[in-house]
Structure 1
Amino acid sequence: MRSIWNGSVSFGLVSIPVKLMNATENHAISFRQIHLSDGGRIRYRKVCELDEEEVPASETVKAYEDADGTVIPVTDEDLASLPLPTAKTIEIEGFVPASAIDPLQLDSAYYLSANGVPAAKPYALLREALRRSGKVAVAKYALRGRERLGMLRVVDDVIAMHGLLWPDEIRAPEGVAPEAGVKVRDAELDLADALMNTLGDADLDTLHDDYREAVEELVAAKAAGEPVAEERAEEPEGKVIDLMAALESSVRAAKESHGEAGGHGGEVAEVHPIGSRRSGGAKKTGASSSKRAPSKKAAPKEGEARGTPAKKAPAKKSAAEKPAAKKAPAKKAAAAKKAPARKAAAKKTAEKKPAAKKAARGTRGRTSA
Structure 2
Amino acid sequence: MPRPVWSGAISFGLVTIPIKVLPATENHSISFHQYHLEDMSRVRTRKICDLDGKQLTNAEIGKGYEVSKDTIVAVTDAELDEMPLPTAKAIEIAAFVPYESVDPIRMGEGYYLQADGQVAAKPYMLLCKALERNSKAAVAKFAWHGRERLGLLRVQDGVILLHAMKWDDEVRDPQELVPKAVEVSDEEIDRAVLLIDSMTADGIADQDWATDRYTEALEQVIRAKVGGKKPPKPDEEEAPAGKVLDLMAALQESVSKAQAARGETGKDATVHELPKKRAAKKTTGKKTATKKATAKKTAAGKKTAAGKKTAVGKKTTAKKRGA
TM category (shorter chain) comes to 0.7 to 0.9
The TM-score with structure 1 as length reference comes to: 0.67
2:26 counterpart SS class? coil
- More divergent stretch after superposition (196-205 vs 144-153): 196-205
Q: Are 2:218 and 1:215 equivalent residues in the alignment?
A: yes
Tell me: CA distance 1:163–1:68, structure 2 relative to 1, closer, same or farther (3 Å).
Answer: same
Displacement, 1:145?
1.5
Q: Which amino acid aligns with 1:99?
A: E
Pair 118,102 (structure 1): closer, same or farther in 2 beyond 3 Å: same
> 2:234 aligns to what?
231
Partner of residue 241, structure 1: 245
Structure 2 segments unaligned to the other structure (5+ residues):
274-323
Query: SS at the partner of 2:5?
Result: strand
Provide closer, same or farther for how the CA distance between residues 175 and 68 of structure 1 changes in structure 2, counting only shifts above 3 A: farther
Q: Kindly report which structure 2 residues correspond to 1:133-282, keeping only aligned pairs within 5 A, or say none.
A: 133-179=134-180, 181-201=181-201, 203-205=203-205, 206=207, 207-232=210-235, 234=237, 239-261=243-265
For 2:119, what is the secondary structure of its paired residue?
helix
Q: Alpha-carbon deviation of 1:240?
A: 3.1
Aligned-CA RMSD value: 2.3
State TM-score, norm by structure 2. Answer: 0.76
Is the Cα–Cα contact under 8 Å of residues 153 and 159 in structure 1 kept in the other structure? yes
Aligned residues: 265
Q: Give the distance between the partners of 1:120 and 1:215, measured in 2 at CA.
A: 44
Q: Which has the higher contact order (CA 8 A, sep 6+)?
A: 2
Shift of 1:68: 6.7
Deviations 1:258-302 (A, max 9, x none): 222378999xxxxxxxxxxxxxxxxxxxxxxxxxxxxxxxxxxxx
Taking the aligned partners of 1:123 and 1:233, their CA distance within structure 2 comes to: 55
Q: Deviations over 1:28-48 (max 9, x none)?
A: 111111122222111110012
Q: 1:128 to 1:237 in 2, by over 3 A?
A: farther
Greater percentage in helix: 1
Taking the aligned partners of 2:64 and 2:71, their CA distance within structure 1 comes to 10
Cα pair 2:220 2:232 within 8 Å, conserved: no
Task: Tell me, yes or no, if the aligned pair for 1:149 and 1:166 is still in contact at 8 Å.
Answer: yes
Match of 2:78, as an amino acid?
E
Aligned 8 A contact 1:252 1:265 in 2: no
**Are the structure 2 counterparts of residues 169 and 115 from structure 1 closer, same or farther at C-alpha, using a change threshold of 3 Å?**
same
SS at match of 2:139: strand
Please give the secondary structure, in 2, of the residue aligned with 1:117. coil
**CA gap 1:218/1:69 in 2 versus in 1, 3 angstroms:** farther
Structure 1 SS opposite 2:211: coil
**How many Å separate the matches in 2 of 1:103 and 1:146?**
22
Q: How many angstroms apart in 1 are the aligned matches of 2:68 and 2:109?
A: 31
TM-fit CA distance, 1:248: 1.4
Instruction: Name 2:60's counterpart in structure 1.
Output: 59
Q: 1:202 to 1:228 in 2, by over 3 A?
A: farther
Provide structure 1 residue ranges, at least 5 long, that are not aligned to the other structure.
267-369
Deviation at 1:236, TM superposition (A): 5.1
Instruction: Tell me the SS of whatever aligns to 1:254.
Output: helix
Letter in 1 for 2:131: L
Distance of 2:241 and 2:45 partners within structure 1: 42
Q: Flag the 1:238–1:77 CA change in 2: closer, same or farther, 3 A.
A: farther
1:203, distance to aligned residue in structure 2 (A): 3.9
Q: What are the residue-to-residue correspondences of 1:304-315 with 2, within 5 Å?
A: none
> Equivalences for 1:1-369 in 2 at 5 Å?
1=1, 2-66=3-67, 71-179=72-180, 181-201=181-201, 203-205=203-205, 206=207, 207-232=210-235, 234=237, 239-261=243-265
